[in-house]
Amino acid sequence: MTAFLALVALPLLCFGMGTSSELEHAKSTEFCLSCHIMEPYGRSLRVDDPQHLAAAHFQNHRVPANEACYTCHTNYAMFGGIKAKLGGLRHIYVYYLGTPPAPENIKLYEPYNNRECLHCHAGARSFEEGAVHTADPDLLPALKANKTSCISSGCHGVVHDVASLKDAKFWKGGN
C-alpha cells in the first residue's frame, strides 16, 4: 500500500497539481511576453494614448493587468480555454521550430469576435447607453450579433499599433 501511494498516487498528485499551476501561470501577461517576438505587444500596452484600445484597457485595469493578454485573446465560448492553449502550443512550435513573422506582421487566426468584448461590456451602462452606440438604433443589435465589428468597423480600430511604437509616448506608471 505504501509503495502504491509513493509510486503511483504521489506522482499523479504532483503532476496534476503542477500542471494546474503551470496552466494558471500560462495565463499571465509575463508568460505571454516572455517570447521575444511579443515584446512590442507588451510595450503597446503602455502607450500613453487613450485611443489605443489595448493600452487603455491595460492601464485602467479594465482587464486584470497580470492576465491582460489572456483576458482579451481567449475565446469565451465553450472550450475557449482549450483552444487558447492549443493556439499557444502552435505559437511555441512556430517560434522555436518554424519561421516566426515580424511582430508587425502577426495576425489573428480569425477576425476578432465582439463576443469577447461583450463578455465584459454587455449590460454595462457606458456600452448600452453610450451616445455613439445609441445614435443609430440598429447599431447595438448589430454589435451584439457580431454583424458590425467593434474593431474593424473603425470605431475602436487602434489596438496594438506595433508598427508605430518608435514615435509613441509611453506611460511610466503601473509598475
C-alpha cell at 77: 465560448
Radius of gyration of the chain (CA): 20
Q: Looking at 1, 2, 5, 14, which residue binds other proteins (CB under 8 A)? A: 14
Residues 30-59 that bind other proteins (CB under 8 A): 30-31, 34-35
Residue 23 contacts by C-beta under 8 Å, 6 or more apart in sequence? 85
Q: Looking at 26, 86, 94, 124, which residue binds other proteins (CB under 8 A)? A: 26
Quick check: 20 binds other proteins (CB under 8 A)?
A: no
CA 18 to centroid of chain Cα atoms: 24
Quick check: 21 binds other proteins (CB under 8 A)?
A: yes
Sign of torsion over alpha carbons 148, 150, 152, 155: positive
Interface with other proteins by CB under 8 A: which residues?
A: 3, 6-8, 11-12, 14-15, 18-19, 21-22, 25-26, 30-31, 34-35, 88, 91-92, 95
